[in-house]
């Protein structure tokens, strides 16, 4: 604004305005003006009046910003804080909504399997370092009614078993581990085998349903469930889905690569099944 006032254009505009004002005063004093001459003067002066008003408004706006800069700064800061608070509240709302949906899924499991005795959901507090089979820890232990070898499930499917137990913490070995064996098969129980882990498959987040018949016909995405035969897991619980079927190295049996229904690498909430129909005695499981 100061540069414009010092510029030649501004001086030229002021010079023209001064000239027109002088002409108008001259016409008034000599008494020779007419209505038409005043109209012509107004027509000529109108653009300059608009320009003058615009310049005046810009100057006034600049002065207002200068005088009230601190007030505007504080107002802007308060608005930013309010927006950040709203974003935080929205994120908290979305997280709470997601957790409620997952809790409702666990309630659905209980309603579907009335013979289950289940704990409240536990948080996954962390994964075991350098474990290729995604073993993890939860914030529940013996004080919460948990025992060794109790099945652990998510809202999507079977996860594993309690392998280490403390008073308020526990470690879970997942179905990706070769240390764990689960009697499993299809819903019709025509194709049955033993589900366990293997190092090569675990690298891809898969487990292995082995000891299948050579002529087995397991289509891709076929659901694999627990059969409940060894008393360690309840019958009819979802484990995962068939990805592909191949012959074993011996050539005598086939196996299926199974993708777990649960995302074992990104778990946040799990539930422990402490009792169910057909559960074996702890001593039998240890044997």
Closest C-alpha to 262, from 161, 151, 183, 159? 159
Residue 110 tokens read as: 């209980």
pLDDT above 80: residue 258:
yes
pLDDT in tens, 192-208: 999 999 999 999 999 99
Other C-beta atoms closer than 10 Å to the C-beta of 187 total 12
Residue 256, Cβ density class (10 Å: 0-12 exposed, 13-18 middle, ≥19 buried): buried
Number of residues assigned to the chain: 287
- The backbone torsions φ and ψ at residue 208, rounded to the nearest 5 degrees and listed phi first, read -130, 120
Contact yes or no for 159/271 (Cβ under 8 A): no
Regarding pTM above 0.95, the answer is no
Query: DSSP code of 144?
Result: G
Alpha helices in the chain (DSSP H): 2-6, 8-30, 35-67, 69-112, 199-202, 282-286
pLDDT above 60: residue 8:
yes
Contact yes or no for 48/16 (Cβ under 8 A): yes
Contact yes or no for 179/232 (Cβ under 8 A): no
The Cα 124–Cα 137 span in angstroms is 6
Q: The domain at 117-286 falls in which architecture? A: Beta Barrel (2.40)
Could you tell me the pLDDT band of residue 137, with boundaries at 50, 70 and 90?
A: very high
Closest C-alpha to 250, from 214, 203, 209, 196? 214
Query: DSSP code of 215?
Result: T
Q: Where are the domains of the chain?
A: 2-67, 117-286
Residue 34, Cβ density class (10 Å: 0-12 exposed, 13-18 middle, ≥19 buried): exposed
pLDDT above 80: residue 53:
no
What average pLDDT does this structure show over 246-265? Answer: 92
pLDDT above 70 coverage of the chain, percent: 64
253 or 110, greater pLDDT: 253
**pLDDT for 81:** 78
pLDDT in tens, 55-91: 666 656 666 656 666 666 667 777 777 787 777 766 6
pLDDT above 80: residue 41:
no
- The backbone torsions φ and ψ at residue 71, rounded to the nearest 5 degrees and listed phi first, read -65, -45
CA angle, corner 237, sides to 232 and 241, nearest 5?
115
Contact yes or no for 268/136 (Cβ under 8 A): no
Contact yes or no for 152/160 (Cβ under 8 A): yes
Q: How many C-alpha atoms does 37 have within 13 Å on its Cβ side?
A: 11
239 or 2, greater pLDDT: 239
**pLDDT for 97:** 60
Residue 86 tokens read as: 């709203």
**pLDDT for 35:** 45
**pLDDT for 205:** 95
């Amino acid at each position: 604004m100061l540069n414009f006032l010092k510029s030649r254009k501004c001086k030229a505009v002021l010079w023209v305005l001064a000239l027109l004002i002088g002409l108008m005063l001259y016409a008034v004093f000599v008494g020779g003006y007419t209505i038409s001459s005043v109209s012509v003067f107004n027509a000529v002066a109108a653009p300059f009046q608009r320009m003058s008003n615009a310049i005046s408004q810009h100057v006034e706006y600049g002065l207002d910003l200068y005088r009230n800069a601190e007030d505007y700064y504080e107002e802007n800061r308060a608005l930013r804080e309010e927006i950040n608070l709203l974003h935080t509240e929205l994120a908290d709302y979305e997280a709470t909504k997601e957790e409620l949906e997952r809790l409702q899924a666990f309630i659905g499991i209980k309603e579907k399997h009335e013979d289950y005795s289940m704990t409240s959901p536990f948080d996954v507090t962390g994964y075991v370092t350098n474990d290729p089979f995604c073993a993890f820890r939860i914030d529940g232990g013996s004080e919460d009614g948990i025992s060794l070898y109790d099945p652990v499930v998510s809202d999507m499917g079977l996860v594993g078993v309690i392998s280490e137990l403390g008073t308020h913490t526990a470690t879970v070995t997942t179905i990706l581990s070769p240390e764990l064996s689960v009697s499993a098969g299809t819903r019709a129980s025509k194709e049955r085998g033993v589900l366990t882990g293997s190092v090569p498959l675990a690298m891809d987040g898969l487990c292995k349903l082995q000891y299948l018949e050579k002529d087995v016909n397991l289509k891709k995405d076929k659901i694999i469930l627990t059969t409940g035969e060894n008393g360690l897991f309840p019958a009819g619980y979802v484990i995962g889905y068939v990805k592909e079927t191949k012959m074993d190295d011996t050539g005598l049996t086939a196996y299926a690569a199974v993708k777990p229904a649960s995302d074992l690498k990104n778990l946040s909430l799990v539930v422990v099944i402490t009792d169910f129909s057909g559960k074996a005695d702890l001593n039998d499981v240890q044997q």
